[in-house]
Structure 1
Amino acid sequence: MAIPHYRYLVLKMLTNKGVLTLRGNVYAAYTCEDDSFKIAEAHDLSICMAETVLDAKKTLADHLEIPDLETPCKNIKSKEHKVIQLVDGDSSKTALIGANLDPK
């Protein structure tokens, strides 16, 4: 018969040669338990979020139309920004950087 002691992470068993004592690693047990709590919480949140999105789509499908997102940088025209082409020969791949940046 084995006797576990959960507080100290010790398992003792009687064998032919005496008492066999198995000790656990407290730090490993704690981090494993902490990780399992985080995974369970993330799983619960993802289920709740999926249900919320489905409910929102059902509720708002008849009343609202969700617009397509466009890149926020298209409409910015300012002297404080420069348009930098990221890929040579492809004008659709651009980025905006500040024109008044310190050279360092």
Structure 2
Amino acid sequence: MEKLGIKEKQLLPSRTVFHGIVPGLSCSPIGKVKIDVLFDDKDHFRREPIWFEVVDLDSPYHALLGRPALAKFMAVPHYAYLKMKMPGTKCIITIAGDYQKSAACAAASSWLAESLVIAEEKCILKRVVTMASKQPDMPSDPKDTEAQGSFQPAKETKKIALDPLHPERHTIVGTNLDSK
């Protein structure tokens, strides 16, 4: 944005939220701006005004063209060949990518996503530790907790063996239950 000479006061408000740029995190733009995008050269070109959402995020990418921009240019991308084709003033315009730059951007983007996820996980962990430190201490003896409010039957109960060969397998039922 700064290299293009666009000032923050030129940005219009945006209600967009990006999900999935970084797994598990969302990102809100600081604004949006319309910029003329030009492909090819002065003799054979294609130019369209495109809305860009501006995000304050470290990224190896300068700009990303989404489906609306590709539709406006009537562009067809081929990700495996790093090529994009679109109609121009005279014939088809072919834009070729660079495999080394693409690999470098993918690696940098992966590192960025990983570092942002780690930072978010640290914040969550800090909140959990803070909440845990504010909780009252639990008694060390489980019998103490029973006295404080554990479940107590309202009527008399009896144990009924579920398996005569395994007496530890039993159920507890109320003695005042109907025989049906």
Q: TM-score, normalised by structure 1?
A: 0.51
Larger Rg: 2
Among 85, 91, 108, the alignment partner of 1:12 is 85
| More strand, by proportion | 1
Render the CA deviation track for 1:2-41: whole Å, top value 9, x for unaligned: 2211111111122232221110111111211221121111
Matched residue, 2:118:
45
Runs of 4+ in 1 over 4 A off after TM superposition: none
What 5-or-longer segments of structure 1 have no aligned partner? Answer: 64-104
Once the two structures are superposed, the pairs formed by residues 1-104 of structure 1 within 5 Å of their partners are 1-60=74-133
Q: CA deviation at 1:53?
A: 1.8
Q: Give the aligned length.
A: 64
Q: Rate the CA distance shift 1:60–1:5 in 2: closer, same or farther, 3 A.
A: same
**What TM-score, normalized by structure 2, do the two folds share?**
0.31
Q: 1:20 to 1:62 in 2, by over 3 A?
A: closer
Residues 82-101 of structure 1 show CA distances to partners (whole Å, capped at 9, x for unaligned) of xxxxxxxxxxxxxxxxxxxx
Unaligned stretches of 5+ residues in structure 2: 1-73, 137-180
CA distance in 1, matches of 2:79, 2:125: 39
Q: Which amino acid aligns with 1:52?
A: L
- Deviations, residues 34-69 of structure 1 (Å, cap 9, x unaligned): 211211111111111121122113323578xxxxxx
Q: 1:58 to 1:3 in 2, by over 3 A?
A: closer
Counterparts in 2 of 1:52 and 1:18: CA distance versus 1, 3 Å: same
Counterpart residue identity of residue 126, structure 2: V
